[in-house]
Amino acid sequence: MAQAPDGRKIPDDGGPAKAVRPVKRISERDDVTDSPAGEISRVGVVGCGQMGAGIAEVCARSGLDVKVAETTGEALEFGRTRLFNSLSKAAERGKITEAERDETLARLSFTTDLGEFADRDLVIEAVVENEQVKTEIFQVLDQVVTRPDAILASNTSSIPLVKLAVATSRPDQVVGIHFFNPAPVQNLVELIPALTTSEGTLARAQLFAEKALGKHAIRAQDRSGFVVNALLIPYLLSAIRMFESGMASREDIDNGMEMGCAHPMGPLKLSDLIGLDTVASVAFSMYEEYKEPLYAAPPLLQRMVDAGRLGRKSGSGFYTYA
């Protein structure tokens, strides 16, 4: 969570952190130093929930100076602990050394004041999937980020980028950089230009994702859901409808896709991992745009969200987690 200069509180995306594999540091990549992506050395991340923490970790492990914004001291400490635990687990599993863990932690700093993002080359917003909240963040970032060439990016998975871009005085420098969960493990990012995004901004964002972070970037049009969620969300909703109707048990639905289609995780387990509130929010945004029944959230999904059964991050969803 983050706090604007006027004291407004901005909720983050919530959820647990995951252990990750090593990410090669930018200093170890000779092909990056002379590229435009090399100009991006100071990154700001708004929100240290499930996605925000992962994005911050990816950037810090790539050798970048990373500042993370949260709203309160309590949220700040929770985010710091989340990152420490994730990096420590990676070290315990031999994915990184303890020295690399400590070096990564040293590149991370935390704040409750978005005004400290003034010198950032790139700011990535990673808070709750809510258009009003994200719009307010972009309005604040537009005021406080002083570098004239700074990129303002959103990790949104479904909200039209143009709506965030026009909330600023620099719509040509706003772009979508959509990471996947857990961000340090998943190799893909989606790059989404708004109608207002300049080619220069998009090119810098792609070089940053591919060269600085070592990700594989694909480009998508600014349509709700982009590429991956436009395919994924209807699949997840279909599985929820199947379970809701009593057609099959949760175990049989998940085992069917894991064993029958070689998916690493069944759709109900995956929904729990993503967060049922996030699945519902993305489905709502996509239904609002396309008005197609396959994007409509099943009643069971909304009831579970209303009951606080959000999946792994709340301890229960379609499954119960210790």
Q: What is the pLDDT of residues 97-121, one digit of tens each?
A: 999 999 999 999 999 999 999 999 9
> Could you tell me the sign of the dihedral formed by the alpha carbons of 89, 91, 94, 100, in that order?
positive
* Residue from 178, 181, 210, 271 carrying the catalytic annotation: 178
Per-residue model confidence (pLDDT) at position 5: 46
Q: What pLDDT, on the 0 to 100 scale, is given for residue 71?
A: 84
Range list of H helices, 66-130:
73-92, 98-106
Distance in angstroms (rounded) separating the CA atoms of residues 5 and 111: 12
Check if 229 is active-site. yes
Q: Which domains are assigned to the chain?
A: 2-219 (3.40.50.720), 229-314 (1.10.1040.10)
Choosing from 229, 271, 281, 314, which is the catalytic residue? 229
Residues in the chain predicted with pLDDT less than 50, given as ranges, are 1-3, 5-10, 14-38
**pLDDT for position 13:** 55
Q: What is the pLDDT of residues 37-75, one digit of tens each?
A: 448 999 999 999 989 999 999 999 999 999 999 988 888
Query: Alpha-carbon distance 129 to 233, whole Å?
Result: 14
pTM score above 0.85? no
Strand pairing report for 42-46 and 65-69: parallel
Distance CA(135)–CA(150), nearest Å, equals 17
Cα separation of 142 and 151, whole Å? 10
Active-site residue 190, yes or no? yes
Quote the CA–CA distance of 260 and 254 in Å, as a whole number.
Answer: 10
Report d(CA 120, CA 93) in Å as an integer.
Answer: 33
Select which of 155, 157, 181, 285 is catalytic. 157
Specify whether 314 is catalytic. Answer: no
From the candidates 57, 70, 190, 210, give the one annotated as an active-site residue: 190
